Amino acid sequence: MRRTLAALTGATLVALTAPLLALPAVAEAASGPAALTPASASRTSAADPVSALTRWFTPHRGVRLAENTKIIGEGKKYRAIFTRRAGTLEFGARGLVASDLTTRFTVPTTGDGGIAGLFSPSRTVSVKGTAYTSGGVFADSLPEGKKWLRTPGDTGSLVSAVQQIISTVEPGTLRATLARTAARRPGGTWDGTRTTVHSGTITLGELFTVSPAVRAMLGTRPTGRSATLPVSWKIYLGSDLLVRRVVSSYTESTRGLNSTELTYVNDTRYTGWGTKVTIKAPPTAQVADFDELTIGADEAGKTQDPVREFFEN
């Protein structure tokens, strides 16, 4: 877990260029009815959250997502919302198949052009395992007439170090996380329904085992201290057993750099379960690939993944 500050910068770059690449298929998901409404889903869901989720796995149905990531410094002397992400997820018969999300960083974007570009807003549309990103760090490097950068789906994931690490739209992840529930209590009203909040802890190694998104993000299984890194979580379940809110947090040490620790708190809200949605790829004429970018060959050809390095040491 060395070089945390450097790795955080790298994670930021990945979040900007492709925050939702490679949406993984969910093999264990059951197919849902051809057409559902929120009311009928509530009536027909089996008495467990995984069944409630998979009832919505039907083409052109989805859910809206809003999320923020907060960074808290050691001793709670510094705290600030670092990113905000919002948009729509689309399901198919086997799980998540597409997304359209916009990411914004709440840091100044004036001054040095490189730094400003690193933290500029970006929109990523992911369809059929391919991500298309507009804005962000490569916006000024696109060829004339091109608005989107295409990225193959196997180079990123649904989550990153600066986004929600517990993907509760994956049945296996939802099941495994809730199995580690240590406490339950009333959770207030979210998305118009009263909730019960389940809380507990799961390790990064355990998440790697159960979560396709985390495996795609890390690439290799975490080892040593990273494998046992505890991720604290709270999952708010509505009366229909659908997830309305997920809050997770973990702390990474930067000791060896400047002897501090940073805690990442990811807060995700889900609303409008069963929303009708059809997400399409951008027009081909507006899409460019990495080899078309007008940047140095060394930058375009880098293969090192700083997010994976972040968790491997």
Taking 80 as the threshold, does the pLDDT of residue 75 lie above it? no
Q: What is the largest CA-CA distance in the chain?
A: 57
Please count the other Cβ atoms lying within 10 Å of the Cβ belonging to residue 265: 18
Q: How far is CA 225 from the centre of its chain?
A: 23
CA atoms within 13 A on the CB side of 259: 0
- Looking at the predicted structure, is the pLDDT value of residue 279 above 50? yes
Residue 43 pLDDT exceeds 60: no
Highest mean pLDDT among 177-191, 253-267, 296-310: 177-191
Q: Is the pLDDT of residue 256 over 90?
A: no
Token digits of residue 212: 């396709």
Residue 154 has what pLDDT?
42
Amino acid at 236: Y
Alpha helices in 18-81 (DSSP H): 38-44, 49-54
Res. 184 pLDDT band, cuts 50 70 90: very high
Helical residues (DSSP H) of 76-142, grouped into ranges: 113-118
Provide the pLDDT confidence category of residue 310 given band limits of 50, 70 and 90.
Answer: very low
Lowest average pLDDT, out of 21-30, 171-180, 183-192, goes to: 21-30
pLDDT confidence bin for 218, thresholds 50/70/90: confident
Residue 13 has pLDDT above 80, yes or no: no
Mean pLDDT of 240-256: 87
Band (257; pLDDT cuts 50, 70, 90): low
pTM for the structure as a whole: 0.77
pLDDT score for 22: 34
Q: What is the pLDDT of residue 294?
A: 84
Average confidence (pLDDT) over 171-199: 96
Strands 148-152 and 287-288: parallel
- The mean pLDDT value for 164-192 works out to 95
Between vectors from CA 51 to CA 50 and to CA 53, what angle results, nearest 5°?
65
Domain boundaries, the chain: 4-298+307-312
Mean pLDDT computed over 82-108:
89
Proportion of the chain above pLDDT 90, given as a percent? 50
Residue 72 pLDDT grade (very low, low, confident, very high; cuts 50, 70, 90)? confident
Q: Is the dihedral of CA 126, 169, 308, 72 positive or negative?
A: positive
Q: Give the confidence band of 180 by pLDDT, cuts at 50, 70, 90.
A: very high
Residue 58: is its pLDDT beyond 50?
Answer: yes
> DSSP states of 226-252 as a string?
HHT-EEEEEEEEETTS-EEEEEEEEEE
> In this structure, are strands 130-135 and 122-127 parallel, antiparallel, or unpaired?
antiparallel
Question: What pLDDT is stored for residue 137 in this prediction?
Answer: 82
Q: pLDDT at position 91, please? A: 95
CATH ID of 4-298+307-312, from 3.40.50.620, 3.20.190.10, 2.50.20.20, 3.40.50.720: 2.50.20.20
User: What residues does 71 pair with on adjacent strands?
Assistant: 80, 264
Tell me: pLDDT of 255 over 80.
Answer: no
205: left (phi over 0), alpha (psi -120 to 50) or beta: alpha
Average pLDDT over all residues of the chain: 77
| pLDDT above 60 for 149 | yes
Site of tokens 């990153």: 160
pLDDT at 185: 97
Which DSSP string do the residues of 196-217 spell out, in sequence order? EEEEEEEEHHHHHHH-HHHHHH
| 3-state SS class at 116 | helix
* pLDDT mean over 105-128: 71
Residue 286 has pLDDT above 60, yes or no: yes
Question: Can you tell me the mean pLDDT for 130-145?
Answer: 88
